[in-house]
Amino acid sequence: MTPLLQVQDLHVAYRSRTGEVCHALAGLSFDLGPSEILGVLGESGSGKSTLAASLLRLLPPSGIITGGRILFEGQDVLHARPREMEKLRGRRISLIFQEPSVALHPAMRVRDQVEEVLRAHEPLDFAARRNRTRQVLASLFPADADRIANSYPHQLSGGQRQRVLVAQAIACGPSVVLADEPTASLDPTTQQEILTLFRTLRQALGLSMVLITHNPGLLAGLADRVLVLYAGRAVEVGPAESVLASPQHPYTRALLRCVPPLDQKSQASRKAMLPVISGESPNLSVLVRGCPFEPRCPEKMEVCKSCDPAAVPLSEAHTVSCFKFPG
């Protein structure tokens, strides 16, 4: 399986006005196969939003890609000219934004907003564009596509808005969709609905997806592989079932233990203290040697302080960056 998208040793830093440098991504590598869903699991400060923005080179002016390579279908994304990037965004790689309530223009009709995406990429005349828009919207809103098309964002529910964002993202038939916390602001049932939609889209259109989230529960049953991001590094990558069910990296283990399970039977575990990760989230402004999780790690060793752990393969697809595992 040749990867569709390859990220190699990506480094991204933000420089604040005071000159402080924040290393949001520090040597991230992964790849994404055709019609594969990769779940990126990370907490705030792990660099997950930076990841989405740098894949499309949409970083704010303060963010600089300081090293590494991003290859999309063999094309070097980091060296593409601005015009080429505009062609890539929305057409080959599209992005589903975090907050559906603010990611749509408040004063434009849904139809126009979907049409604008087509207009930017496809040489269609007005009627053809309108027609395509109707088709795309009809595929997402089988019941009332016309009503939705005529609506303004504020007249829609959160789930409907999220579907409009999906419509924009798939309008030009991209091969990769990046979704950055696509369901964070939705109700659980709506959330499930959108996740089901993602599953359907992958099957129907053969889409590849990078699903970025802080909620491990979203990835179960949806992602093929999971990448756990900590301090801008991939600490664990592997098949979703094995990473979520039997995590190996101390951070992944600690993170997954924080979530209270739903099916606890015993009264004793209810209202009991949850296991937490001690210490503070990493300070990214100093580039430290060694494992970034070392200060909080319950199983730290001498070597963790001084050397960067390399990715150790546990099985064919499962790798962990930790010295606990003999390389």
Partner 1 sequence: MRYLLRRMLHAVFLLFGVSILTFLFSTLAPGNYFDEMRLNPQIAPETVASLRAQYQLDRPLPVRYARWVNSVAHGQMGFSFAYNSPVGPLLWVRARNTLLLTLTATLLAWALALPLGIWSAASLGRLPDRALSWTTATLLVIPDLVLALGLLIMAVRSGWFPTGGMVSVGFESLSPLNKLRDIAIHMTLPVVALVISALPMLVRHVRAALAEVLDAPFLRAAAGHGIPRRRLLHRYALRAAANPLISLLGFSLGTLVSGSLLVEVVMSWPGLGPLLLEAILARDLYVVIGGVLLSTIFLVGGNFLADLLLLWADPRIRTEAGAE
Partner 2 sequence: MFQVSRLAILGGDGVQLLLNVENLVKRYAAGKSFGSREFLAALDGVSLSIQIATTLALVGESGSGKSTLALCVACLERPTSGSIWFDGRDVAALSEKQQRAVRPQIQLVFQDPSSSLNSRLTALEIVAEPLIIQRRFDKQARSKRACALLERVGISAKKAGSRPDEFSGGQRQRLAIARALALEPKLLILDEALSALDCSVQAQIANLLLELQFSLGLTYLFITHDFAMAAHLADEIAVMDHGRIVELGAAEKLLRSPEHEATRCLLAATPRFRGTANLPEGL
| Residues in touch with partner 2 (CB under 8 A) | 43-45, 158, 187-192, 214-220, 244-247, 253-265, 267, 269-277, 280-281, 298-299, 324
From partner 2, partner 1, none, interface partner of 309 (C-beta below 5 to 8 A by class): none
**What is the spatial distance between Cα 63 and Cα 212, in angstroms, rounded to a whole number?**
19
Q: How many residues bind partner 1 (CB under 8 A)?
A: 32
Decide whether 17 or 81 has the Cβ nearer to partner 2.
Answer: 17
Helix (H) or strand (E) holding 25: strand 21-32
Smallest separation, CB 270 to partner 2 (Å): 6
**What is the spatial distance between Cα 145 and Cα 68, in angstroms, rounded to a whole number?**
43
* Range list of H helices, the chain: 48-55, 82-88, 110-121, 126-140, 145-150, 158-170, 188-205, 216-219, 240-245, 250-258, 302-306
**What is the spatial distance between Cα 164 and Cα 149, in angstroms, rounded to a whole number?**
9
Decide whether 25 or 104 has the Cβ nearer to partner 1.
Answer: 104
Check if the beta carbon of residue 67 is closer than 8 Å to that of residue 9: yes
DSSP code string of 207-239: -EEEEEES-HHHHTTT-SEEEEEETTEEEEEEE
Decide whether 116 or 241 has the Cβ nearer to partner 1.
Answer: 116
From partner 1, partner 2, none, interface partner of 15 (C-beta below 5 to 8 A by class): none
Decide whether 43 or 116 has the Cβ nearer to partner 1.
Answer: 116
Decide whether 93 or 222 has the Cβ nearer to partner 1.
Answer: 93
Residues 6+ apart with CB under 8 A from 221: none
Interaction pattern, residues 68-97, with partner 1; x per rule: CB under 8 A = -----------------xxxxxxx--xx-x
Buried b (16+ CB within 10 A) or exposed e, 288-313: bebbbbbbbbeebeeebeeeebebbe
Interaction pattern, residues 145-184, with partner 1; x per rule: CB under 8 A = -------x-xx---------x--xx---------------
Interaction pattern, residues 119-148, with partner 1; x per rule: CB under 8 A = -xx---------------------------
One of 43, 116, 193, 241 touching partner 1 (CB under 8 A): 116
Smallest separation, CB 31 to partner 2 (Å): 24
Q: Which residues bind partner 1 (CB under 8 A)?
A: 56, 58, 85-91, 94-95, 97-99, 102-109, 116-117, 120-121, 152, 154-155, 165, 168-169
